[in-house]
Amino acid sequence: MRSAPFTIPVLAATLAVVLGAVPSQAQQRTTLPSAVDSVYRRALNALAAGDTATALDALELVQRGAPRFADAFYQHGVILSRRSEMGLAPDDIFRRRRAGEKLEAALDRDPNNPLYLLELGRLRLKTPFLRIEAERLFAKAQRAARARGDAHLLAIVEYELGLVSARRFNALRHRRILTGTATALDLEAAADDWHYIPNFLEQRSAPVADAGELDRLKAEEHFHAALAADSSHEGAAADLLALLYESARSAEMLPLATTLARRQPRAPRTWLALGLALSERDRVDEAAFAFDSALALLPDSTRREMLDVAQWLRPDDATQLARASRSEREATELAWWRSADPLALTPVNEARVALLARVAYADLRFTSEEAGLPGWRTDRGQIWIRYGAPDVIATLAPETQEVNGAESTARVITIWWYRANALRFVFRGPPAINAAGFAGNFRAYADNARRIIPMSLADVHGALRLDTVPVQVARFRADSGTRVELFAELPTDRMLRDVDLTPALVEGGFAFGADAAQRAPQMQRDSLRLPAGPRAAAVRRSWARTVPSGREYAYRIEARQPDTGRGARGDGTIGVLPLGAGGAFDISDLVIADHVIGAADAVERADYRIDANPAMRYLPGDTVALYWETYNATPREGRIARLRVRVTVRILSIDRGRSFSARLLGGIADAVGLSAVGDEQVSLTYERSARAGMMVPHQLTLQLGDAPPGQYALSVEVTDMSTGRSAHTERTLTLERPSS
């Protein structure tokens, strides 16, 4: 069991509510002798100060001094009741029994006091098998509160009745019955074997249609009644909003949350719920505002904990982050949020909104007053926030006999199954109580899962249908520093394939900088109008920046179709080292292109037109054009340098069939001194003369012929024959299987 840091504040708050509750009829009737009255006041003061031991002693004295004074018994019962846990531990049974006696004594003296009935009902809820009795007491309290015309109390009672139904609904909602020979869920197998849970769900259990529907209807009625009696009832508001969200009724949730946020502007839970409703309605900008409003109302420590990036990192990384200096930590956190943002083109970080929506849901749904834990700190809440909504949720009825040790005995088993990454989590908790923790070894399993998959934003990317922008980055020497060229292919063919608008607008964005990963990237934006539908084609773009060497740079290239919200993104970092420093012979990056066109006397990069292939993907029969530069070649005769070029194509992974080299060799053009080496590698070597100097451009064209699909490493090694020094560069290209 986790520690419950909120238990003491919750107890104190509850007692404060109790102290402030309406005076009972008995109290109104009874005038306490002054000596007893002062003792009673002492008891209340002690209670308010959290000194329950003194309060209990004083209340015992009051009960002896004024045996008809019901409130003394009630207060005594409340203290004992709140200090008892649910379950069958002897201490708890004893404490509950004593609390029950005191509350019944209060009711003997003031029958039909709704407050007393309510507290007795709450006490009964903690006792297994007495929940129906609890509901009966709440119903009686409801009638009594109505008869008294006490709206505040009526709201509390309606809320309790709603909670009884809501908890039952939550326990029943995803209910499955075991079929075939299955008798129980094997927790060990569930944790050890990823096949077990999907098999169990598909073959050994069947969902029960409409399970818990009546309880949902009842819960909704009661929560509405609670809010009708007291519109400021935060609990009823939160639970009603959770119920609407769970029923996929965000259209109903939104106006209610808006109204409640207006009525309860200082209640962070209501703002969180409003943010959740807005994000569900795809009103991301407004959701971000609502979440920020909620965060602003939370204590600093809670806000920091809620948004702590460490919870979404692998445990080792989280430990490392915790050890980092404050400035490093802040920089890393900022970089994490920037990186998580699916599209910097939009004003809102959709990932942040999605994560806060998960926090909001966990808060609404898993907050357990019994355990004194906010929902986002519970086991279920943590998993929900980390991985989002599971693909399948299933609950199994409590076992009446002991099976699997005591794991499932008298406990509801809840299964969460994430199909895409085969993650599964099993929780167990008492029926009709909103508390559940990891079952069996699933805490250890969750820790292990976090090492492999620290978190997932697949739902956010799925909603945006986020695509990838392939980017090829090449570094060349420049007069001052390094010239970085970025070649990107915006996947507008896929983004616009089923868009039926013409012309379709596509917004593009480009950011490049030394600390672009940390700062809000200043996007250089533009827009394109393109044909949509089946005629849509991918668009290639390129950018160049000359930057000082010796630093790491980050780039981000994005495309977004505003009508559909679809986006694509390519990003990364690149280290820029000086090329040819100190006059050393050096080579640039290799550019893989479809075409490289340059005049015969071309001597500068500007003399070449390069149609780079950013994805470096080709089809059999395509031509691969290469471009690179060498620097600081030493002259051999006059001003002419002699260079030996060796181009090698090596198989990385391939569908091996016939001999590879035989197919590739025939396609190499412009080759002098060709030599094939081995069966998995082919290289060509040639020598060339070039004007010695700062930079020598090179280009080469390869014909792929009918080489088989696969991945190939393409490397270029150039040797300065004057000095014998070599420089080397390499790329990987993919030869795709032609689509049928």
Partner 1 sequence: MTPRLRIRLRTLVLAGALSAQQATAPALLAQQARVDVTTHPGERRVPRRVLMPFVMGAAAALAASAYFVGSAEDPVGSCTGPSCVLPMSIGIGLFVGYLMGREMDQAFALRYRRGAPVAPTAQALMLEGEPQWLAVSAQRGAAGGTGGVQLFATDGAPRLLARRAVGIRGIHGVALTPSSVLVAATTGLYEFAADSAIGMRVRDGDVTACTELRGRHVVAIGERLELSPPPGRSDSTWRSTSAGAPVRALATDDARGVVWVATDSSLGAFTLVGDSLTRQSSVRLTGGVRTVRTDGSRVAVAAGERGLWLFDVEGGTSARVRFVWTGTRFAYDALITRERLFVAAGGEGLFVLDARAARGAVLGIARQTGFAVALGEQGDYTYVLDRTSPALHRIRSDFSLR
Long-range contacts formed by 596-602: CB under 8 A, 24+ apart: 596/625, 596/626, 596/627, 596/699, 596/701, 598/697, 598/699, 602/697
CB of 220 to partner 1, least distance (A): 7
Judged by CB, which is closer to partner 1: 177, or 389?
177
State the Cα–Cα distance between residues 421 and 44, nearest whole angstrom: 55
Residue 562 engages partner 1 in binding (rule: CB under 8 A): yes
CB 539 within 8 A of CB 377: no
Residue 677 engages partner 1 in binding (rule: CB under 8 A): no
Task: Tell me the three state secondary structure of residue 533.
Answer: helix
State the Cα–Cα distance between residues 584 and 580, nearest whole angstrom: 5
Residue 479 engages partner 1 in binding (rule: CB under 8 A): no
CB 391 within 8 A of CB 419: yes
Residue 231 engages partner 1 in binding (rule: CB under 8 A): no
Residue 210 engages partner 1 in binding (rule: CB under 8 A): yes
- Residue 193: other Cβ atoms inside 10 A: 12
Residue 17 engages partner 1 in binding (rule: CB under 8 A): no
Q: How many CA atoms lie within 13 A of 707 on its CB side?
A: 33
Q: Which of 10, 61, 208, 671 binds partner 1 (CB under 8 A)?
A: 208
Residue 108 engages partner 1 in binding (rule: CB under 8 A): no
CB of 62 to partner 1, least distance (A): 43
Q: Which of 43, 59, 256, 530 binds partner 1 (CB under 8 A)?
A: 256
Phi and psi torsions of 433, nearest 5°: -130, 135
| HEC-encoded secondary structure of 39-97 | HHHHHHHHHHCCCHHHHHHHHHHHHHHCCCCHHHHHHHHHHHHHHCCCCCCHHHHHHHH
Mask for 150-189, x = binds partner 1 (CB under 8 A) = ---------------------------x------------
Among residues 97, 82, 85, the alpha carbon closest in space to that of 126 is found at 85
Q: Which of 83, 204, 224, 725 binds partner 1 (CB under 8 A)?
A: 224
Residue 498 engages partner 1 in binding (rule: CB under 8 A): yes
Residue 249 engages partner 1 in binding (rule: CB under 8 A): yes
Residue 112 engages partner 1 in binding (rule: CB under 8 A): no
State the Cα–Cα distance between residues 724 and 691, nearest whole angstrom: 17
Q: What residue type is 6 in one-letter code?
A: F
Q: Which stretch binds partner 1 (CB under 8 A): 247-255, 265-273, 381-389, 432-440?
A: 247-255
CB 555 within 8 A of CB 569: no
Residue 247 engages partner 1 in binding (rule: CB under 8 A): yes
Q: How many residues bind partner 1 (CB under 8 A)?
A: 36
State the Cα–Cα distance between residues 647 and 355, nearest whole angstrom: 49
CB of 457 to partner 1, least distance (A): 19
Judged by CB, which is closer to partner 1: 505, or 654?
505
Q: Which of 230, 563, 680, 717 binds partner 1 (CB under 8 A)?
A: 563
Judged by CB, which is closer to partner 1: 413, or 499?
499
Q: Which stretch binds partner 1 (CB under 8 A): 17-25, 255-263, 366-374, 408-416?
A: 255-263
CB 421 within 8 A of CB 456: yes
CB of 217 to partner 1, least distance (A): 5
Q: Which of 83, 97, 136, 218 binds partner 1 (CB under 8 A)?
A: 218
Where do contacts with partner 1 occur on this chain (CB under 8 A)?
A: 177, 208-210, 213-214, 217-218, 220-221, 224, 247-249, 251-252, 254-256, 258-259, 282-283, 498-502, 505, 532-533, 562-566
